[in-house]
């Protein structure tokens, strides 16, 4: 019963975030415009075609996701601060982990929607098959870790005066250990390796995801109540 | 006030410090179930801090707060479901409609009769026809009426009101008073902070005056008409001390 209630509250936050985004489209449109512009700029400025494009694709795609994501994460938590909404969440959620998982899932969903558009675009621009199921798996694992770390740090940054500046400063160094295996696994798979051959990088991704979820669960209550 | 019912709020030796600044200094306060208490005091007296601690939004430095017998001073847990909180901030999402806001909070509180309760409250605050409009298109008075609906959605036993009249024009303030008066009839325990004891005196029966983080007077509102001048005299006395 308690678990059911917990899951229902988490889902309520996800549904609320999606409904708000459907009304405004401000998070997705900001991330989408930034991501497409960045990919096109990289592609044309560095003349990323053929083999060069395939080599550069993993780095370009993950860098674009990382930078575009900060726009969405920052806005997602700022929306909670509007008219004291975060206090409403704190009052209504029996358990603080509800807020953490709800916001993380909502942010993961937004990023995955962005990636649904980004991967086909990268496939066309860089002549690299980014739609392989194994690459999609890498993207999902990387996105989970990124969204969780981003949600935690956005909750810290949102209480600071320069939150838009603070989030990338805090987040980007923290996701380096996530970006390296994500880029390496994607590159390996694009070179035609099987999933088993990039297993070590996949393990690093999974361990990062588990660690960041554990750290966030332990600290989120203090962060959000600060 | 309910006879022989256990107290709704018990505050013992409650202190709160923000670094070197003491906001609340060893407060003791008991509020009976169904009692309606007005908390007044000058700016910086600690009213909002006290309310936020009772609402489980802030943790005390020392002391305990019990709501309906549950200690909320180290994390509210299940007691949060018994508390309604209304402040000058609406705690509503401007990017959602009125109905979506109430639906969200209803899900969070695990209400069974969600749709019926939402429609009942929208009708009560006169927003049925605007229920599908985004909150950001509402006037300040409409937002505050919807905030009342949000605060009482889960039928809380304790309603905390932090300067609920702030920024409201006289018509909106009258409408809010009527709503709160109807709520008081249901036996809900009320604790409200205000700078305008004359206006809110009609809703309450007891007044607690805070100054410098301490309770300096606690008693019945009594002659409501004379209370504002007594309050003014107390403030002048406190500030010149």
Domain boundaries, chain A: 2-225
ipTM associated with this complex: 0.86
Residue A113 in this model has a pLDDT that exceeds 60? yes
Q: At residue B185, does pLDDT exceed 90? A: no
Using a pLDDT cut of 70, give the percent of chain A over it. Answer: 98
Where in chain A does DSSP place strands (E)? none
Q: Are residues B188 and B125 in the same domain?
A: no
CA A1, CA B123: separation in Å to the nearest integer?
Answer: 32
pTM for this one?
0.87
Is the pLDDT reported for residue A141 higher than 90? Answer: yes
- Taking the Cβ of residue B130 and every Cβ of chain A, the question of whether any pair is shorter than 8 Å is answered with no
Q: How many CB atoms sit inside 10 A of residue A131's CB?
A: 11
Parallel, antiparallel, or unpaired for β B189-194 and B83-87?
A: unpaired
User: What pLDDT band is residue A120 in, cutting at 50, 70 and 90?
Assistant: very high
Q: Say yes or no: B50 and B78 in one domain.
A: yes
For the stretch A10-37, pLDDT in tens is 999 999 999 999 999 989 999 999 999 9
| B149 and B216 both lie in a single domain | no
- Tell me what pLDDT residue A212 has: 96
Together in a domain, B205 and B109: no
Which own/partner contact pairs does A43-46 have at CB distance under 8 Å and 24+ positions apart?
A: A43/A125, A43/A126
Tokens of B158: 């304790």
Please give the pLDDT value at position A172: 92
Over residues B56-65, the pLDDT tens digits come to: 888 899 999 9
B236 class by beta-carbon count within 10 Å (0-12 exposed, 13-18 middle, 19+ buried) = exposed
Give the whole-angstrom CA distance, residue A24 versus residue A27.
Answer: 8
> So what's the pLDDT on residue B229?
67
- pLDDT surpassing 80 at residue A149: yes
Q: How far is CA A54 from CA A44, A59, A114, A179, A187, in A?
A: 14, 10, 21, 17, 8
Confirm or reject contact between B94 and chain A (CB < 8 A). Answer: yes
Task: For residues B75 and B162, state if they share a domain.
Answer: yes
Assess whether B133 and B68 both reside in one domain: no
Nearest CA in chain B to A14: B104
Kindly report the average pLDDT of chain B as a whole number.
Answer: 85
- Cβ atoms of residues A136 and A47 within 8 Å: no
The pLDDT assigned to B4 comes to 66
Q: Assess whether B74 and B182 both reside in one domain.
A: yes
Mean pLDDT for A72-88 is 81
- Yes or no, beta carbons of B57 and A87 under 8 Å apart: yes
Q: How confident is the model at residue B239 (pLDDT cuts 50, 70, 90)?
A: low
Tell me the CATH number at B72.
3.40.50.300
Asked if the structure places residue B88 within a domain, the reply is: no
Tell me: pLDDT of A129 over 80: yes
Query: Does some domain include residue B128?
Result: yes
Q: Which of A20, A92, A94 sits opposite B93 (nearest CB)?
A: A20
Are B108 and B208 in the same domain? no
pLDDT digits (tens, 9 = 90+) for B148-174: 899 999 989 999 999 888 777 787 778
For chain A, what percentages of helix, strand and coil (3-state, to nearest 5) are there?
A: 90, 0, 10
Residue pLDDT, tens place only, A159-183 = 777 777 888 899 999 999 999 999 9
Residue B59, chain A, CB below 8 Å: the answer is: yes
- The C-alpha torsion from B167 through B172 and B174 to B176, rounded to 10°, is -80
Of all residues in chain A, the percent with pLDDT exceeding 90 is 61
Would you call A23 and B57 a contact, using CB atoms and an 8 Å cutoff? no
What domain count does chain B have? Answer: 2
Q: Give residue-wise pLDDT tens across range A83-98.
A: 676 888 888 877 889 9
Residue B132 at interface with chain A, using a CB cutoff of 8 Å: no
- Residue percentage of chain B with pLDDT more than 90: 41
B118 and B69 in a common domain: no
Residue B165 sits in the same domain as residue B208:
yes
The reply to whether residue A8 touches residue B107, judged by beta carbons under 8 angstroms, is yes
Residues B151 and B162 in one domain: no
Q: For residue B14, with 0-12 CB atoms within 10 Å meaning exposed, 13-18 middle and 19 or more buried, which class applies?
A: buried
User: Above 80 in pLDDT, residue A123?
Assistant: yes
Q: Which of B91, B94, B140, B149 to mutate to test the interface with A (most CBs of A within 10 A)?
A: B91
Element (H, E) at B13: strand B9-18
With CB atoms and an 8 Å threshold, state whether B83 touches A8.
Answer: no
Task: Tell me if B120 sits within 8 A of B194, measured CB to CB.
Answer: no
Task: Tell me the average pLDDT of chain A.
Answer: 90
Is residue B151 within 8 A of residue B159, CB to CB? The reply is: yes
Q: Which domain holds residue B229?
A: 1-82+158-169+177-241
B115 Cβ neighbours under 8 A, 6+ residues apart: none
If asked whether residues B226 and B165 sit together in one domain, one would say: yes
Confidence band of B241 (pLDDT split at 50, 70, 90): low
Q: In terms of Cα–Cα distance, which of B29, B170, B153, B168 is closest to B87?
A: B168
Give residue B1's pLDDT: 53
């Amino acid at each position: 019963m308690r678990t059911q209630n917990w899951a229902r509250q988490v889902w309520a936050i996800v549904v609320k975030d999606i409904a708000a985004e459907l009304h405004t489209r401000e998070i997705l449109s900001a991330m989408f415009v930034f991501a497409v512009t960045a990919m096109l700029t990289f592609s044309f400025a560095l003349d990323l075609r053929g083999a060069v494009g395939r080599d550069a694709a993993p780095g370009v795609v993950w860098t674009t996701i990382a930078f575009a994501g900060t726009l969405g994460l920052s806005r997602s938590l700022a929306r909670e601060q509007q008219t004291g909404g975060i206090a409403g969440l704190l009052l209504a959620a029996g358990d603080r982990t509800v807020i953490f998982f709800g916001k993380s899932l909502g942010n993961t969903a937004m990023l995955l929607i962005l990636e649904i558009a980004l991967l086909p675009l990268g496939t066309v621009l860089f002549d690299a098959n980014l739609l392989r199921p194994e690459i999609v798996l890498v993207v999902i694992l990387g996105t989970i870790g990124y969204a969780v770390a981003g949600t935690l740090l956005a909750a810290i940054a949102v209480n600071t005066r320069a939150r838009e500046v603070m989030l990338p400063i805090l987040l980007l160094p923290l996701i380096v250990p996530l970006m390296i295996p994500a880029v390496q696994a994607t590159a390996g798979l694009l070179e035609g390796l099987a999933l088993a051959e990039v297993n070590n990088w996949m393990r690093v991704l999974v361990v990062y995801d588990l660690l960041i979820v554990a750290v966030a669960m332990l600290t989120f209550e203090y962060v959000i109540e600060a | 006030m309910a006879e022989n019912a256990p107290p709704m709020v018990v505050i013992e030796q409650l202190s709160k410090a923000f670094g070197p600044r003491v906001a609340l200094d060893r407060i003791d306060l008991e509020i009976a179930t169904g009692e309606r208490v007005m908390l007044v005091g000058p700016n910086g007296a600690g009213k909002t801090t006290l309310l936020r601690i009772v609402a489980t939004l802030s943790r005390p430095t020392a002391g305990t707060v019990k709501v309906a017998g549950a200690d909320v001073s180290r994390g509210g847990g299940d007691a949060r479901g018994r508390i309604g909180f209304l402040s000058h901030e609406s705690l509503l999402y401007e990017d959602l409609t009125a109905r979506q806001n109430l639906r969200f909070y209803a899900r969070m509180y695990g209400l069974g009769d969600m749709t019926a309760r939402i429609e009942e409250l929208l009708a009560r605050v006169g927003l049925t026809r605007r229920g599908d409009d985004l909150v950001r298109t509402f006037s300040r008075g409409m937002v505050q009426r919807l905030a009342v609906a949000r605060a009482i959605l889960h039928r809380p036993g304790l309603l905390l009101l932090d300067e609920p009249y702030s920024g409201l024009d006289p018509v909106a303030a009258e409408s809010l008073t009527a709503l709160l008066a109807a709520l008081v009839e249901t036996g809900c325990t009320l604790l409200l902070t205000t700078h305008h004891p004359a206006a809110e005196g009609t809703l309450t029966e007891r007044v607690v005056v805070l100054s410098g983080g301490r309770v300096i007077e606690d008693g019945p509102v009594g002659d409501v008409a004379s209370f504002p001048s007594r309050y003014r005299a107390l403030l002048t006395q406190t500030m010149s001390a």
